[in-house]
Amino acid sequence: MVAELLAPQARRTGPADAAGASDHLRTWVLSQAQNVVRHREGLRPFRFDEFGDPATGPSKGHVKAVNDLLGTLRKPLGKVLAQLERAASEAVDEPSRARLTRLLELKSKAHDWVRATEQVWDFYLELFGQRQSAFAPWLVACDRIALDCYQYAYLGIGVTRSVPAPPPFAYMRTGFSPATYRRGIRLSKIGKQLNPFALIQLPYHRLLNPWTLGAILHEVSHNLQNDLGLQKTVPVTIARRLLDAGLPRSVAAVWTRWNREIFADMSGLLLGGPAAVGSLFDVVGRSRRQTLTYSPGGVHPTPYLRAFLSVELLRRMGFPLEAEAHLRTWRSLYPDTRGSDIPSELLKTARTAVPLVVDAVCGTKYPTLGGRTLLRVLRFQPKEQAMIEEAAGRLAEGVDPGVVPERFLIGAVRHAIERELAPPERLMHNFFAELGRRSR
């Protein structure tokens, strides 16, 4: 019992001090539940109006989705806190060893739930908080591009599908590579809770150079593969197509393993046009050692082979001259594969495998697309490229680029920078100014 624990001190200091120690214990016990309750109250639901200008902040849908997630954590936490408050009251009435032990155990349990809730709260606080910064106009511009991609894809399919909500949400990170976290997956950043909406992570340097934002089209496409119900059928189709053509099982297994990144490249190219190939070359065109290195078990196609897939699709989209130009550039950069550790079977069968893989991903009629091919759902033809090139000239002049879809502005600003139609700083400003205007 607590009296026994306090007895040695009481013998040394007398009854008055023992009473004081008992009062101190009582105060401490009561404060434990109160502290945890106050901690939980600090992890309150977010408000739509607390993240700056509503035009650039998270939407009501994003805020509600996060608050719903927080609510799933607050319910069990509330139950633990009720138990903790009762335990504190009982320990004050009778400070026995058993009751104090239960108090401490419930306090630790409550703290575990608070930390789990806080991890989620902190993560989204940082993401939403970026919309109060000077980067908010850039991020909402990326939101608009991602939304346009989804709208176009869902208008192109030939079957009714539930519309994903809320739409993808962009945020900024330092580093080299962009990334995405799909809706509905368990995300370690939030304690393995289900991610309530797609997140598009973009490096600062990509935002600074919007002609490299083909990355948005790629990352959005990862989410489209799932939301369009293609996450299982695409790899099966790739494997079947290669095996039916007589390619070795080991080769078919590698291309199948790469299916998600291949789909994202193909879909991104269909969404954005030829500029997406240039954006890809920016990423995969590195030193010979890096581009010709094979990663066993890796999910990204070996960079050397990855380029040929986009060239093949570009040709099928009706851009033979552009495809040939990219192919010549690639072969000039990597005229041979000497020193590469790419498996010989992959290299020997690549000429056969590449068109088969592109056809499996883009030329196959999928039931979840309403019996349509990806080429038809995300149609991009030379007339769309003409729109992009016209918009490029207008962006360079700083005038309204016209009724072009948001996703086409990436190609437009890249076309403008490659042809030196205006200085980079002006093009960056005009690009974000136009997308910012559309968000209002």
**What distance in Å separates the CA atoms of residue 311 and residue 324, rounded to the nearest whole number?**
8
| Average pLDDT of the residues of the chain | 90
Q: Looking at residue 15, what is its pLDDT?
A: 52
In angstroms, the CA 232 to CA 314 distance is 25
Do 15 and 127 fall within a single domain? yes
Which of 86, 106, 132 represents a domain boundary (last residue)? Answer: 132
Identify the band that residue 62 occupies on the pLDDT scale cut at 50, 70 and 90.
very high
DSSP string, 351-418: HHHHHHHHHHHHSS-BGGGTSB-HHHHT---HHHHHHHHHHHHHHHHTS---S--TTHHHHHHHHHHH
Closest to 150 (Cα-Cα) out of 379, 362, 378: 378
- Does one domain contain both 234 and 105? no
Task: Output the CA–CA distances (angstroms, integers) from residue 149 to 25, 262, 321, 324, 374, in the order listed.
Answer: 61, 18, 26, 27, 13
* Same domain assignment for residues 127 and 234: no
Length reported for the chain: 440
Give the span between the Cα atoms of 6 and 366, in whole angstroms. Answer: 75
3-state class (DSSP) for residue 61? helix
Is 153 inside any structural domain? no
Question: What's the pLDDT score for residue 390?
Answer: 97
Question: Which pLDDT value is given to residue 20?
Answer: 54
In a domain, 15, yes or no: yes
Q: Are residues 234 and 100 in the same domain?
A: no
367: in domain: yes
Q: Is the pLDDT of residue 153 over 80?
A: yes
pLDDT confidence tier of residue 409, bands split at 50, 70 and 90: very high
Tell me how far apart the alpha carbons of residues 373 and 350 are, in angstroms, rounded to a whole number: 23
327 within domain boundaries:
yes
293, pLDDT greater than 70: yes
User: Does residue 209 have a pLDDT over 60?
Assistant: yes
C-alpha dihedral (296, 297, 303, 306), degrees to nearest 10: 120
* Residue 76 exposure: Cα atoms within 13 Å on the Cβ side: 14
pLDDT in tens, 358-391: 999 999 999 999 999 999 999 999 999 999 999 9
> Residue 17 has what pLDDT?
52
CB 219 within 8 A of CB 148: no
* Average pLDDT, integer, range 164-182: 92
Q: Is the pLDDT of residue 343 over 80?
A: yes
d(CA 375, CA 118): 44
Of the three residues 81, 114, 132, the one that is the final residue of a domain is: 132
Domain contains 47: yes
CA-nearest of 150, 152, 179, 33 to 103 is: 33
Residue 339 has pLDDT above 60, yes or no: yes
DSSP character for 48?
G
Residues 235 and 356 in one domain: yes
What's the number of CA atoms in the CB half-sphere (13 Å) around residue 166? Answer: 19
Mean pLDDT across the stretch 45-60? Answer: 88
Q: By the 8 A CB rule, do 381 and 340 touch?
A: no
Assess whether 109 and 237 both reside in one domain.
no
CB 158, CB 371: distance < 8 Å: yes
Number of domains in the chain: 2
Q: Is residue 147 included in any domain, yes or no? A: no
pLDDT for position 298: 93
Overall average pLDDT of the 349-365 stretch: 98
313, 342, 372 — which closes off a domain? 372
**Residue 124 and residue 241 in one domain:** no
pLDDT for 8 equals: 44
pLDDT of residue 249: 97
297 in a structural domain: yes
**Alpha-carbon span 159 to 197, nearest angstrom:** 23
232-250 pLDDT, tens digit per residue, is: 999 999 999 999 999 999 9
Of the candidate ranges 1-15, 134-148, 324-338, the one whose mean pLDDT is the lowest: 1-15
Q: Is residue 190 part of a domain?
A: no
- The winner for highest mean pLDDT among 37-41, 268-272, 281-285 is 268-272
- 234/367 same-domain check: yes
Mean pLDDT of 77-103: 81
Domain that holds residue 238: 230-256+275-372
